Structures are given as structure tokens and as C-alpha cells.
Structure 1
Amino acid sequence: MSEQKILIVSHGHPDHSKGGAEVAAYNLFKEYERQGLDTVFLARTDQPAHGGSAFSTINSDREILFHTNMSDFFLFQSGNKKHIWQDFRGLLEKYRPTVVHFHHYIHMGLEMIREVKNTLPDTRIVVTLHEYLAICANNGQMVKPGKQMKLCYKSSPTDCARCFPERSAADFFLREKYIKSIFDLVDKFVSPSHFLIDRYKQWGIPEEKLIMIENGQPEVEAPPPRPLADGEVRGRFAFFGQINPFKGVDVMLEAFNLLPDEVKEKVHLDIHGANLEVQTEEFQEKINRLLEELGDLVTLHGSYESHEIGRLMEQTDWVIIPSVWWENSPMVIQEAFNHGRPLISSDIGGMVEKIKDKINGFHFRSRSANSLSSSLNEASKGERTWHDLVESIEIPLSVSQCAGAHINIYK
């Protein structure tokens, strides 16, 4: 077999967008480069192009920004077809990759997958699934619209039309047929969790096309336990991620509010998260009210860079994932385990798969501030419990191991 040439396509560059999928894609790219493989990273951006060009470079000529957009979020169709059939096609013809690995199609358009098959029919196409976008039109969350945000267990055209009454069941039937017609062109789908694989199998993706590969982590030396002052407990909790309704930050803050006063005096919550300012006014008001009620018990730090995670974990005892949707495989789980920190998480989705209750962390009943408050109370009581959980943490898959697993499916 001739030497591989790998094109990784991401819906964002981590220099501009801090999501887990962007970081996972970029980590793979940098590892391929380190191994001497011929690889290019193509990342979509919403920044305006210089001189109207569809492409520009960032950091090196191997990292390309694709200045494009999507106009149809129902069918994931490009807002500028010329970017697909002229610019992207030109890049494919010039570079001629043997593998194109899509880490997303949102913001760029599903047509990119078909363009690869049309332009380079022998090129292998791999797609990493990060959530349920193809299955669910509600931001791929499988959560029903509305204030209750009821969890959804299975999609169907009729049920989806109930969630979006402005569209008919026929619209959703045709949407599914269109997306599956594109997905038929994909050689392999990668998922970082078995839970996500099960959802896509149920939806109709052939089992033999699906493979679980965990997101790899940089090899680091886990920091020692945070030194405790006399009388201090393991009560330093932290949240890492986006601040939006799906992440359950409001549930977490309500849980801290429910703690007995004597526990509140011993614990602290650090929130390392961004994007509160772009949420609805109602959600912002709720979060700000809870923050004001909790006062000095909580510190809102804002966004952070990937390279800062080690320093932030050093100052942390426990990491909380209070998500109210079916998280697939949040990057923060592997980051916490990589740094020897146990987690407290909702008991749904891929979180249950990764975090074992009372083995390497705690579960609490999803969406229940009372249940989370009980877990926080239990966590802050026992130094021995914390050490037992830490000793049971398994080192996550490294970026190098992750790259090796991907290279195997590229062949």
C-alpha cells in the first residue's frame, strides 16, 4: 500500500474554538505530525476571509482555515455551494489524500463527504461522531425542546414532528433518508463511547461500520494530592466546560445551595467555563441569581486554555459533570482521570460508561440538585474515600495509542 496522506476536517480550530471535538481532532493531527505522517488539518472558521479567499493558513501551511458556513441546519447543507464543488474539490485534487477523516460536518455541510467520494472515489472516508446531530434536530442533544428539557430515547419522524410542529413528519422522514444517503458513503464511523454507538446502531448505521476509540490524552505526570491545611477537607470542587442549559450548571449551583451551613464553610466550587453571556436572558438571570446567593462559596473563572488544565487540576479535589443530556464522552472525564482526580457525574449517557459509581467517582440522579448535594456532602467527608477512588482510576488512552488505533482503521 502506498504511503498514507491524511486530511483531518474539523468544524473549528482550537485556537478559535475550545470544544472537546476540536481539541480531539487537533491532538490527532499533531500526533500524526510527530510520527512523521503526511497530514493536513482543515478547520472551519466563521472569521471573514482575507480578499474573499475560501482558505487561509494558521500556525503553518499544514493548518488550513476554511472560511465557510452552513445555511441549512436542518439538512446540514452548505451556505456556499461553490466552496464545496470548487474550493474544497480543488484542495482534494491538489493534496490527494488517501484518507479524509471528518471530526464533524456541522457549520461546513454534509456535501463535503459526497464531494470526497465524487472527486477521489478510492479515498477512505472516516467520520467521528461526537453527538446525535444526525438523529436529533434539537442540536443533536436528544432532549425535547421546552423548559422541561425531557430526555428523548429514540427518534421517529412522527415524534420529531411533535417537537418541531412547524415541520411535518414527512420532512423528518426525508431528512433521515438524505443524511443516511450521505452516511452510506462513509467507510468507518468512530465513536468515543459505546453508548453513542448503540444509539446510532438503533438508528440504522450498520454495526460493522462502527468502532469505539476513546479520545486520547497527552501523557502527563498526575499531580500529587492537593496539600490540605490543618482541619481542611477534600472539598475543592471544579466544573470545566461550557455554561449552557444542557451542562447542568444551574443544577450544580442549586446543589451547593442545599448543603448544610457547616459543610458550606468547608467547601468551594471553581467554575472554569465560558459562553454564559451568549445564553438566553432567562438562563443568565437564573445563573447570576444562584451565584449571588452562594457568594464566596463559588468562583467564576471564565474560559481556560488546554495547556492550563494541569495547573487547574492541581488545585482541585473533585471534578463535577452535572450534564442534563446524554453526554457521549466529555473530554473533561479523560482530563480528570489523566490528572488523578475523581469525578461526580450525572447517571446517564456515556458518563455512566466512563465513571464507575463508588469506584473512580460518584453518580447522582440526573437533574436532581438534592441527589448531587448528597454526593457533595459524602465526597467532602472522607479523605480515605478520596484516596480509594483515586487508586482505582485507570490511566486513559494516550494520544499516541489513539492515533495508532485510527491508523489501523485508515488502512
Structure 2
Amino acid sequence: MSEQKILIISHGHPDHSKGGAEVAAYNLFKEYERRGLDTVFLARTDQPSHGGSAFSTINSEREILFHTHMSDFFLFQSGNKKHVWQDFRALLQRYQPTVVHLHHYIHMGLELIREVKNTLPEARIVLTLHEYLAICANNGQMVKPGKQMKLCYKSSPTDCARCFPERSAADFFLREKYIKSIFDLVDVFVSPSHFLIDRYKAWGIPEEKMVMIENGQPEVEAPRPRPLADGEVRGRFAFFGQINPFKGVDVMLEAFKLLPEDIKEKVHLDIHGANLEGQTEEFQEKIHDLLEELDDLVTLHGPYESHEIGRLMEQADWVIIPSVWWENSPMVIQESYNHGRPLIGSDLGGVGEKISKNKGGLTYKGRTSSSLRSVLMEAVSCYGAWQDCRNAIAQPINMIECSKLHLECY
């Protein structure tokens, strides 16, 4: 194992981009460093570099920023081919990794995978899949374009062309062939959920190439349950994540709006989330209208740093994940369990896979505010519901065990 040289590639550095995939990739890198493994972390950035160089360092010489971009989001092709066949190739030749583990290809280009195979044909290529980008051209969500955001269960060139009438079925047929030709070069695909594995198997990835490894968590001391005042119930709810149409914040707010008045007096919702200002004017208006109607029942706190998660969860009884698409394995699930906080989540995709009464939470019919309303009432009104869910929480996999499972793939 000591002879291995590992290159981890991410589409962002957590210092600049707070997504779960970026954090998962970086945590793995830091654990490998802790174990004394020869590891380099390469993270794409949209920030300009000094002197126009493709690379710069951050924090240490082992953390490298890749100043590049994609020009074609349909075929995931690099916007600067020279960055691939000259700069990235030179980096591979310099470090000579025996394993290249990509946690994404978005914003960099699928060509990176082929360049690894061409430059270092003996290197093992591992790709962690975080959503359905290869399958679905609608931001990898497997949700049909339009206001209703109808769920998609399986892709086909004909159906995809209906979603994007500016492209032909032939375009989507060739897109699939091209992406699969690159994926054929990958030795192992890692997924944090069985649900995503099933989707990619149905799409054509061989089952024997896929392995499920949950996102590892740092070891923390879980905060004690929130102290309750006399007569108070476990009615403090929290949301953590991006505020966009796919995360279901509007469904969550509508559910709180539907609560009976006597229940509203017992509950509060804290929203810790970013990027509302980056959404469409229509969506922003909808969220602000709901917030205004709910008045002091809801507090919008804005973005947070990853190191603040423990302090913020300490103030919550329940964490809500109201996603309206087929989430894979949002990091907040494991973060909540790691901090001893039960979950209430949609029954869609990987969220439904990881949340249930015997797994530390409650689920409701996804995309349905009335169903969430019922579960919220159960969480507040049923004596022992919170304690039962908390007792059922299994300690999530830590970074030590997570890194061991990944090393077995290498």
C-alpha cells in the first residue's frame, strides 16, 4: 500500500465551494495524508490564476488548484483543450500516480479520464458518481424541465429529445455512446447509495464495476439533546443546504403553513442555506412570500461554514431533507446522524433509502406538502417519537473506515 501514489480530483475546493461532493473528496484526501499515503488533491476553480498558469497551490504544495473550465455541458468537454493534453498531462507525468480518483468531471471535462489512460495506462481509474449527469442532460437531476419538474424514471434518446426539442434523438444517442466510451476506461465506480447504483446499472454500467461506499464522517462528540423548557416539545426543526427548486424548500414551507394553529405555537424552523439570490425571480418571490406568511415561525439564517454544523445542529431537534428529486446521498444525512439528530426526509432516491424509523428518522411522500405536514405533526405530537428515532441512529462510517474501503478499490 505504501507504494501507491494517489491523485484525487475534485470539481471544487471546499475553501471555495461548499458542496457535499467537494467536502467528501477533500476529507478523503486529508485522511490519506493522515495515514502517510503519497496523495495529491487537484481541485478545479473558476478563479483566474496568476500569470495565466493552469495550476496554482493552496494551503500546501499537495493541494493544487486547476484553473480551467468546460465549454460544452452537453458532452462535458473542456473549454481549453491545451489544459488537458499539455498541462494536465504534464502533471500526471510529474507525479506518476498509480491511482487517479475522480470525484467529478463537471467543469473540467471528461477528456481528463482519457488523458489518464493515454498517459498512464497502468494507473487505476476510480470515479465517484454523485448524481446522474451522464444519464440526464437536465443538470443530472432526472427531473423533466418545466414548472412541474416531473420525475423521470429512465432515459432514452427519444424521451430526452422530448425534454430538449432543440436537440434530436440522434444527438442523445451519440451523447450516450460518447460518455460510455469514456466510462469504459474507468476501473471502479463508487456510489454513496444503492439507489444511484441501480440507476446506472439500468443505464448500462456493469454491476461488477460498481461499489457502494458511504461518505465518511469525522469523529465528533455528538451534542447533547437540546434542553427543553417546562411543557416544551421537540419542535425545533432545521434545514441545511442549497436553496433551489430541487431541494424542496418551498414544499417544506408550505407544509409548515398547513399546520394547525395549536401546532404552530409549538414549532420553529431554522433555514441554513445559500444561493436563494441566484435562483429565478419567480422562485425567489415564491420563497419570500411563504416566509412572509409564516412570519416569525421561520428564520432564514443564510449560508454557513462546514465547521459550524455542530453548533447549529445543537440548537435543533429534527433536521428536514425535503428534496424533490432523486438525491443520491446528501452529506447532511450523515452529518445529522453524526451529531445525534433525527431526520425527516422525502422518500425519494437515496434519501428514502437512508431514512426510516429504524434508521433514525421519519419519511413522507416526496414532493407532497400535506404528507410532510402529517409527519411534522407526528414528530411533535407523538410522545417518544423523537427519542425512538434518536435511539435508532447508527453511528455513520468514519473517515478511517471510509478510506479503508476506498483503498480496497485501488
> 1:343-397: per-residue Cα shift (whole Å, max 9, x none)?
1111110111111146521111111111101111110123522111111110011
Matching residue of 1:294: 294
Matching residue of 2:47: 47
Deviation at 1:106, TM superposition (A): 0.3
Matching residue of 2:246: 246
Q: What SS does the aligned partner of 2:240 have?
A: strand
| Alignment check: 8 A CA contact 1:234 1:382 kept | no
| Alignment check: 8 A CA contact 2:242 2:275 kept | yes
Q: What SS does the aligned partner of 2:384 have?
A: helix
CA distance, structure 2, for counterparts of residue 214 and residue 52 of structure 1: 38
CA distance, structure 2, for counterparts of residue 401 and residue 358 of structure 1: 23
Matching residue of 2:196: 196
Matching residue of 1:317: 317
Q: What SS does the aligned partner of 1:196 have?
A: helix
Q: What SS does the aligned partner of 2:154 have?
A: coil
CA distance, structure 1, for counterparts of residue 382 and residue 30 of structure 2: 41
> 1:113-167: per-residue Cα shift (whole Å, max 9, x none)?
0000000000000000000000000000000000010000000000000000000
Matching residue of 1:121: 121
| Alignment check: 8 A CA contact 2:2 2:37 kept | no
- Which residues in structure 2 correspond to 1:11-410 (within 5 Å)? 11-357=11-357, 360-410=360-410
Q: Tell me the amino acid that sits aligned with residue 209 of structure 2.
A: K
CA distance, structure 2, for counterparts of residue 383 and residue 277 of structure 1: 39
Q: What SS does the aligned partner of 1:190 have?
A: strand
Structure 1 moving runs of 4+ over 4 Å: none
CA distance, structure 1, for counterparts of residue 306 and residue 383 of structure 2: 29
The alpha-carbon distance between structure 1 residues 358 and 186, as it changes in their structure 2 partners (threshold 3 A), is closer
CA distance, structure 2, for counterparts of residue 292 and residue 173 of structure 1: 47
Q: Tell me the amino acid that sits aligned with residue 272 of structure 2.
A: H
Q: Tell me the amino acid that sits aligned with residue 206 of structure 1.
A: P
Q: What SS does the aligned partner of 2:396 have?
A: coil
Q: What SS does the aligned partner of 1:145 have?
A: coil
Question: Which stretch shifts more, 361-370 or 317-326?
Answer: 361-370
Residues matched between the structures, number: 410
Deviation at 1:336, TM superposition (A): 0.5
Q: Tell me the amino acid that sits aligned with residue 71 of structure 2.
A: S
CA distance, structure 2, for counterparts of residue 27 and residue 382 of structure 1: 38
> 1:249-295: per-residue Cα shift (whole Å, max 9, x none)?
00000000011111111110000100000000000000011011111
CA distance, structure 2, for counterparts of residue 233 and residue 95 of structure 1: 57
CA distance, structure 2, for counterparts of residue 226 and residue 108 of structure 1: 44
CA distance, structure 2, for counterparts of residue 24 and residue 383 of structure 1: 36
| Alignment check: 8 A CA contact 2:104 2:127 kept | yes
CA distance, structure 2, for counterparts of residue 281 and residue 385 of structure 1: 39
Q: Tell me the amino acid that sits aligned with residue 56 of structure 1.
A: S
| Alignment check: 8 A CA contact 2:274 2:302 kept | yes
> 1:312-336: per-residue Cα shift (whole Å, max 9, x none)?
1111100000000000101000000
Deviation at 1:303, TM superposition (A): 0.9
RMSD: 0.9
Identity %: 81
| Alignment check: 8 A CA contact 1:102 1:127 kept | yes
| Alignment check: 8 A CA contact 2:357 2:389 kept | no
Question: Which stretch shifts more, 20-29 or 304-313?
Answer: 304-313
CA distance, structure 2, for counterparts of residue 288 and residue 349 of structure 1: 28
* TM score, norm. by length of structure 1: 0.99
Deviation at 1:227, TM superposition (A): 0.3
CA distance, structure 1, for counterparts of residue 359 and residue 23 of structure 2: 28
| Alignment check: 8 A CA contact 2:329 2:350 kept | yes
| Alignment check: 8 A CA contact 2:347 2:353 kept | no
CA distance, structure 2, for counterparts of residue 52 and residue 25 of structure 1: 26
The alpha-carbon distance between structure 1 residues 276 and 165, as it changes in their structure 2 partners (threshold 3 A), is same
Q: Tell me the amino acid that sits aligned with residue 271 of structure 2.
A: I
> 1:216-245: per-residue Cα shift (whole Å, max 9, x none)?
001112111100011111000000000000
| Alignment check: 8 A CA contact 1:257 1:294 kept | yes
CA distance, structure 2, for counterparts of residue 319 and residue 309 of structure 1: 12
| Alignment check: 8 A CA contact 1:234 1:383 kept | no
CA distance, structure 2, for counterparts of residue 359 and residue 8 of structure 1: 31
* TM score, norm. by length of structure 2: 0.99
CA distance, structure 1, for counterparts of residue 357 and residue 196 of structure 2: 20
CA distance, structure 2, for counterparts of residue 327 and residue 399 of structure 1: 22
Name structure 1 gaps, 5 residues minimum.
Answer: none
Q: Tell me the amino acid that sits aligned with residue 162 of structure 1.
A: R
Q: Tell me the amino acid that sits aligned with residue 348 of structure 2.
A: I
| Alignment check: 8 A CA contact 2:235 2:380 kept | yes
CA distance, structure 2, for counterparts of residue 183 and residue 174 of structure 1: 14
